[in-house]
A and B are shown apart, each in its own frame.
Chain A
């Protein structure tokens, strides 16, 4: 124990401040590393021989996640239809159901829930796959073969996320609006024409653009966090080997979800 540590341990306030300080520095260091990691990967998207891998990743992240995203979108829309119908009935504004459902979905719920679902479905997969490649020395093997691991493994995933997230969000929104129609119109008897008229009249391009901006930002966050956690899983202090991969996957999902919600708040503040 150094003399500095001894002074710290004798004063609880200093100990707490030290812990907070260390934690903050570590957090800032991680964010800095993640930003550099993302920048490097993003630049490498535009290098040669990337298209094939990007297409493969679009299939893996986008196409294979579409069903689950649409399923969640359908039930989210159905729940919104139910909840908003009974709320609006109290104020005699059932006619505004279409507006309420579509605006909630396009501005807020679509981008956030689609991003969380893709994180659960593809983000965890990215972290685990890259983590396994790391612990089995396949990442080192890429380097040894003069293949930049960031270019080969990370860039296509980030590019594919940037392509897939807005598309899946659009699917989510569309199916969600249909879900709201199923409960609000077919189940509870609101006028169908009014529902779609309200959807059409209340949704502006600004709302759609805002939703897509969120989707793009979430794509960058999710792909960067998940790839970063997997790529550096061998440097974790909590465990080695398969355990490190497991921990990296957990961190990737939890951190992505938290950052999606934080980013959503920040973006909404700016976009409103």
Chain B
């Protein structure tokens, strides 16, 4: 396996008599999103502060590309630090400066860019994060959500190689949470940075994370992908993840993945068993939408799709959940694939007339009527057998996916 970008080797950190990190071993790989999850007070923020050098370990070593950070020369350390940005849990905005000055501050202080270039870059970030109206306001005049976005803009403005996000979505509504997480993914692809994230927004954070680190009582309880965590079924960790995820997906109102699994298991193990069942996998091109409409509108599109799927199929006994950032899986108990196909076909006009019309309104508000790009909703139907795991159903449905609704850009029409 590749050399980790950052590696913690037996890191111990004590504050007085309290050991916060106890021989922590951890690997963070380049161009990945690594999410750290753990109960409050387990040292997640302390761990991040070690990466940026705000705290020094009492024992152990932190390695950057295999080289101990403590042994770096001054210029090597400066180079390393140049590429790391930190988004604080409480935002840590400079409260005597306006939003513009806060975002411009790192550029003014650490680069030799001229005033016009700084203004251009700051204006772009402010626009990306939808802060245009707040540009002359002070942090104390902003809501918690807006403050978070200002902090994010400030972290992104220097185009760092590693960004440490300390609970970036805390205090945000579901749309903003997903918007911020989507932005992290979007900017990571665009600028190619490595992200280390502390977040409790399950399942949203699973959709964007490449690796998961679970801190448990000062040590790493698990390190790997989400799928591995689920497969291992470590009792304490499993319970912890479930407690975080809850019953419902905050964004769409659909079932959470855990609740969905429970309902699916109940369907398979019911007294009558299943004679027949089908599944439909709906998806939108989230990344294209993000690119064209911006993060907020893209998340709104997904939310609208989830709401319409839920409203349409729940009364019929169907149950649905989001299984990735842009995929919604619906199971139809006691329904043959042909019947399911018909149900979806009947749903398409509603999708076109209402959901896509709503999407068009969002797009128009965002970009103007003539600029709305083509939006496609795909659906794939498959039969569900009693031995199928959910992942298998998704694979089968993906293979059958075809476009069922298209919103034509500019003309405002749909087909």
Contact = CB atoms under 8 A, between A and B. Distances in A.
Given A146-B81, A146-B110, A147-B109, A141 B52 contact: no
Nearest to B164: A144
> How large, as a class, is the contact surface on chain A?
10 to 19
B370 interface: no
A93 B110 CA distance: 64
B110 A141 contact: no
Nearest to A147: B109
Say what secondary structure dominates the interface of chain B: mixed
A182 B90 CA distance: 56
Contact of A137 (B92, B154, B158): B92
Nearest to A139: B92
A128 B397 CA distance: 62
A15 interface: no
20 contacts: A136-B90, A136-B95, A138-B92, A138-B95, A140-B54, A140-B88, A140-B92, A141-B88, A141-B93, A143-B52, A143-B54, A144-B52, A144-B88, A145-B106, A145-B154, A146-B81, A146-B82, A146-B109, A147-B105, A152-B109
A49 interface: yes
A49 B109 contact: yes
A147 B85 contact: no
B86 interface: yes
Contact of B88 (A49, A137, A147, A152): A137
A137 B95 CA distance: 11
A147 to B, nearest CB: 5
Interface of A: 49, 136-138, 140-141, 143-147, 152
A152 B110 CA distance: 12
A141 B54 CA distance: 10
Nearest to A151: B109
B94 A138 contact: yes
Given A138-B92, A138-B94, A138-B95, A144 B110 contact: no
B140 to A, nearest CB: 11
A147 B110 contact: yes
Contacts of A141: 86, 88, 92-94
Interface string B87-105: 0101011110000000001
Contacts of A136: 90, 92, 95
A147 B154 CA distance: 13
A269 to B, nearest CB: 42
A146 B54 contact: no
Contacts of B81: 146
A137 B86 CA distance: 12
Contact of B54 (A49, A144, A147, A152): A144
B110 A145 contact: yes
A143 to B, nearest CB: 6
Interface in B75-133: 81-82, 84-86, 88, 90, 92-95, 105-106, 108-110
A49 B108 CA distance: 9
B82 A137 contact: no
Contacts of B110: 145-147
A237 to B, nearest CB: 11
A182 B49 CA distance: 62
Given A136-B95, A138-B95, A147 B106 contact: yes
Given A136-B90, A137-B88, A140-B54, A145 B109 contact: yes
Given A137-B88, A137-B92, A144-B86, 15 more contacts: A49-B108, A137-B90, A138-B92, A140-B49, A140-B88, A140-B92, A143-B52, A144-B84, A145-B106, A145-B110, A146-B81, A146-B109, A146-B110, A147-B105, A147-B106
Contacts of B53: 143
A15 to B, nearest CB: 24
Contacts of B86: 141, 144
Nearest to A132: B95
A123 B37 CA distance: 43
